[in-house]
Chain A
Amino acid sequence: MSDALNIIKLTNEQIAWRAAQDIQEGAYVNLGIGFPEMVARFQPEGREAIFHTENGVLGFGETPPEGEEDWDLINAGKKAITLKPGAAFFNHADSFAMVRGGHLDVAILGAYQVAEDGDLANWSTGKGGIPAVGGAMDLVHGAKRVAVITDHVTKKGEPKLLKRCTMPLTGVGCVTRVYTSLAVVDIEGGHFVLREKLAAISFDDLQAATGAELHIEGDVTDLVVPQL
């Protein structure tokens, strides 16, 4: 079953593309470090979002060419960035006032696990090592929409969408939408509501790859993404 999923599932680029389609014109957006940063590459033509990074920049743009980095101008992942016209700098307390104060429209994060009640685990596997939380626990509170992008299952084929998270939580009841490699799922009223799925997977197979019940409320449309 997981071999079959590996053939049909979306690439990370395609998951990021799908998430980018829901970012509205003029939205203030924070993208978590790593995989979520990819969402910025797939902004729809004609729509402009303003990207926020925790270390005090609004309105950053592309990565600079190698050799032209200014190391006073980095993002939360410590990578060099550039500025767009109209960018702004601010201190860390103001930056997180934007986060917790409800001023961001969307935060997009990665996940180890998401539960049907919106709980998120994405900072620690709970297996020892060095704990490191960064801004994740702040970002899940305050953004008007908290979305997750993730593979639908782990590398071992185990569900990442669950009844309850088993790993240490990042936040409680915070996720509103999950974009996976197989489907788009909303979290409403304490359960998963299926909105889109790949045409190549049956509902039963999708349910089998999901650790909690997928509810159907209204239409389920095909999850259609371009080759990227």
Chain B
Amino acid sequence: MNKTIASLREAVAPIGDGATVMIGGFGGSGAPIELIHALIDAGPKNLTVINNNAGNGRVGLAALIEQGMVEKLICSFPRSADPKVFTDLYLAGKIELEIVPQGTLAERIRAGGAGIPAFYTPTSYGTELADGKPVAEFDGRPYVQERWLKADFALIKAELGDTLGNLTYRMAARNFNPLMAMAAAETVAQVSGIVPPGGIDPEHVITPGIFVNGVVEVPDPKQEEILNREGAVYP
């Protein structure tokens, strides 16, 4: 078994029009910028994208949105230092937005990966984000029912990957990436380095390879924050 994918182009090639795509990262940290840019080059339309944010500046997720490829965004916080790309499209009614509290977003993705179709959380009870959702009382407290989130594809960023898809992460770049790896039918990870089986100590594996379909090497990945400080625009 070897899950190595030779190029970013091949890694995103299966993603077609109308696909639901989870994209890892929290802001720029852990965002698979190179995979997102390859997806822009491939150009599928009418995507539903799941990410914590709505992009910053004009690279990465913001660039994907700017290209008009995203029909719907599911996120917790569509504000950033430079949210103009998303904001303009949203106010023009050209992109649909589903706001989900951040912890609920994480748990819905985890539940999707874990085969749990719904769960109850205290979060959002009594607020407009709970409108229309079933409420139940447990031990005297009210909780809101939330449903799992799954995707056709997950594009994630990790630090090291082996050819079996086992992954490690770097610092706070972990965030949503291990959850999304579990919740998508096809998960591709961009990694700074690919090693043979045994190249990662089993004690250090964060995402076991069973959740990963492909790994593609990007030896020196760009940081969204640095690209934005340089005024970069993609494409």
Contact = CB atoms under 8 A, between A and B. Distances in A.
B174 A133 contact: no
B174 A90 contact: yes
Contact of B174 (A56, A74, A96, A170): A56
A89 B101 contact: no
B78 A138 contact: no
Interface string A185-197: 0000000000000
Nearest to A91: B178
Contacts of B78: 130-132
Contact of B175 (A56, A142, A172): A56
B219 to A, nearest CB: 16
Interface string B103-129: 111110110000000000111111111
B42 interface: no
B83 interface: yes
A38 interface: no
Contact of B179 (A72, A91, A119, A138): A91
Interface stretch (B12-20, B24-32, B209-217): B24-32
Interface string B68-106: 000000001111110100110011000001011111111
A93 B183 CA distance: 13
Interface in A47-100: 53-57, 69-74, 78, 89-93, 95-96, 99-100
Given A71-B225, A130-B87, A92 B126 contact: no
A58 to B, nearest CB: 11
Interface in B203-234: 206, 223-226
A133 B77 contact: yes
Contact of A137 (B79, B124, B174, B177): B124
B129 A96 contact: no
Contact of A135 (B103, B177, B224): B103
B35 to A, nearest CB: 16
Interface string A166-185: 00111110000000000000
B179 A137 contact: no
Interface string A91-121: 1110110011000000000000000000100
B172 interface: yes
Nearest to B125: A172
A95 B106 contact: yes
A131 B110 contact: no
A88 B29 CA distance: 16
Contact of A100 (B26, B103, B127, B128): B103
A134 interface: yes
Nearest to A75: B172
A77 to B, nearest CB: 9
A93 to B, nearest CB: 4
Contacts of A93: 106-107, 109-110, 179
A18 interface: no
Contacts of A160: none
Contact of B172 (A57, A136, A141): A57
Given A91-B179, A92-B175, A133-B99, A72 B170 contact: yes
B200 interface: no
A130 B175 contact: no
Given A72-B172, A131-B99, A138-B102, 11 more contacts: A71-B225, A78-B27, A78-B28, A78-B80, A92-B175, A95-B106, A100-B121, A133-B129, A135-B101, A169-B128, A171-B127
Interface of B: 26-30, 52, 56, 76-81, 83, 86-87, 90-91, 97, 99-107, 109-110, 121-129, 169-179, 206, 223-226
